[in-house]
């Protein structure tokens, strides 16, 4: 039986759909980082976004979701700051940074809505 959030399966839940799509996009870009940053920034970004996704999945199973969602919020904040650093270091183009910033804001809004409900 699939996990559900307020009657919607994870595959249908906007926060999971947006996070999955953004994670896929981000991982496809971090593998193209310059060799000098692949084991520094790429690894940190990958770890933070995957931790974020893991915490969302964990929150579905938890009775007390608030603490898990707050940890997820921190991971998303880490991703946001790492992406800004990538832009400032010239690893991300302005266009890539704009896309990622919009995705982070959208995911953050969905996460905030979920947090308010709990």
pLDDT digits (tens, 9 = 90+) for 87-104: 999 999 999 999 999 999
Report d(CA 23, CA 3) in Å as an integer: 20
Which residues form the domain of 97? 4-117
Report d(CA 73, CA 95) in Å as an integer: 24
Give the pTM: 0.89
pLDDT digits (tens, 9 = 90+) for 104-117: 999 999 999 999 99
From the list 63, 62, 64, 69, the residue with the least C-alpha distance to 15 is 69
CATH code, 71: 1.20.1440.60
Q: Which residues contact 76 (CB under 8 A, 6 or more apart)?
A: 52, 104, 107, 108, 111
pLDDT digits (tens, 9 = 90+) for 33-63: 999 999 999 999 999 999 999 999 999 999 9
pLDDT at 1: 40
For the chain, how many structural domains are there in total?
Answer: 1
Assign 66 a pLDDT band (cuts: 50, 70, 90): very high
Q: How many helices (H) and strands (E) does the chain have?
A: 5, 2
């Amino acid at each position: 039986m699939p996990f559900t959030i307020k009657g919607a399966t994870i595959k249908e839940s906007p926060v999971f759909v947006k996070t999955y799509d953004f994670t896929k996009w981000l991982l496809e870009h971090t593998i193209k980082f310059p060799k000098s940053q692949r084991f520094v920034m790429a690894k940190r970004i990958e770890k933070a976004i995957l931790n974020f996704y893991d915490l969302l999945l964990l929150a579905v199973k938890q009775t007390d979701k608030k603490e898990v969602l707050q940890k997820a919020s921190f991971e998303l904040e880490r991703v946001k700051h790492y992406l800004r650093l990538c832009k400032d270091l010239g690893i991300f183009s302005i266009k890539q940074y704009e896309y990622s910033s919009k995705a982070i804001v959208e995911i953050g809004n969905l996460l905030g809505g979920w947090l308010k409900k709990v």
